[in-house]
Amino acid sequence: MIIETENLTKYYGKIRGIENLSFSIEKGEIFGFLGPNGAGKTTTIRTLLGFLKPTRGKAFIFGKDVEKEIVKIKEKTGYIPGELALYGDLTAKDLLKYFGTLRRNFDEKKREKLLEIFELPLNRKIKGYSRGMKQKLSIVQAFMHNPELIVMDEPTAGLDPLLQGKFYDFLREEKKEGKTMFISSHILTEVEKVSDRVGIIKEGNLVALENVDSLKSKKGKVVKVKTVEKIKIKGIKTKMENGWTSFVFTKDVDDVIKELARYTIKDIEIGELSLEEIFMHYYR
């Protein structure tokens, strides 16, 4: 096991952060940690990485207690914080150099490779960076010492779709090398592209822990249909918007078509249920 938590709980005074989180992540796994804003994703990450002391429970990374051996753990861990606070007065080059000297396994070749994928104006001061550039820089620093585990808090925020694609391709490559990754996101469709397994956190509690494949196999289609008459199907909740009726259908497709055949159809769209919709449908 790379990460293991036992009833990990964090309260900020009386305010709930996370409650009784128990999960484990295996070597080589990409784990998507999902939940709406304020659900406790960042609290979980910051407790795992020793920034916050657990109120109750335990967390282990590489089998080591995060409260006791966090420095050892960090030698083999990379971290992309959710808050992109980098030293504004430094240039990216200086920052990478500075952090390089603090990391035991800093790998110059790896850094060069990363900078080829995530191009950056290295000689510019970081305070002049756009959000996307800062995000790229934080990706480079998190991977440049070849860590075995990379913990990422909303890593694609600020990246344009093209870069997001590049980033996911890069993660798949890293996975091939046996790296373990923990990615938090509030956008389910994002992590479903790379994750093997997802945990869903809601109000500080883990409400689901599933393989992405089995989650996707939870049968379902999204049907959007434009009809002359008003649609009413027994046992299914429909939503009306701009003349379109939409609903989630979890039974056989054949049944949907036969059901809809009773109406005069002007237009129809049938699509796969995204992870987001699965979440809304199953875990609400």
Partner 1 sequence: MKIAIHSVRNSWKGTVILLLAFAGLVAMIISIYPDMKGSIDMWMDNLPDSALSAFGRSGLELSMVEGYLNMEFYQWGWVLILGVYFAFISSSVISKEIENKTIDMLLSNPVSRARVVLEKFLGLVPGVILMNVAMPIVILGCLKYANETINVTYLFYTHFASVFYLCAVCALGLLFSVIFDETRRANVVAIGVISGMYIMEILSLISEKYSAIGKITIIHYYDPGEILVHHHIEASDVVILFFITAVLLVAAAIYFEKRDIAIS
Residues at the site binding partner 1, with contacts judged by CB under 8 A: 12, 42, 46, 49-53, 70-72, 74-75, 77-79, 81, 83, 85-87, 89, 98-99, 101-104, 138, 141-142
Nearer to partner 1 by Cβ, of 98 and 283: the residue is 98
List strand residue ranges (DSSP E) for the chain, in order: 3-12, 15-25, 30-34, 56-61, 64-65, 77-80, 149-153, 180-185, 197-202, 205-211, 221-227, 239-241, 244-249, 265-272
Closest approach, Cβ 34 to partner 1, in A, equals 21
Closest approach, Cβ 87 to partner 1, in A, equals 6
Nearer to partner 1 by Cβ, of 17 and 220: the residue is 17
Nearer to partner 1 by Cβ, of 85 and 187: the residue is 85
Taking residue 99's Cβ as centre, other Cβ atoms within 10 Å add up to 17
Closest approach, Cβ 151 to partner 1, in A, equals 9
Nearer to partner 1 by Cβ, of 91 and 245: the residue is 91
C-alpha span between 266 and 249 (Å, rounded): 19
Going from the C-alpha of 143 to that of each of 15, 65, 92, 235, 237, the distances in angstroms are 34, 23, 15, 50, 46
For the CA atoms of 162, 163, 168, 169, what is the dihedral angle to 10 degrees?
80
Closest approach, Cβ 45 to partner 1, in A, equals 10
Closest approach, Cβ 13 to partner 1, in A, equals 10
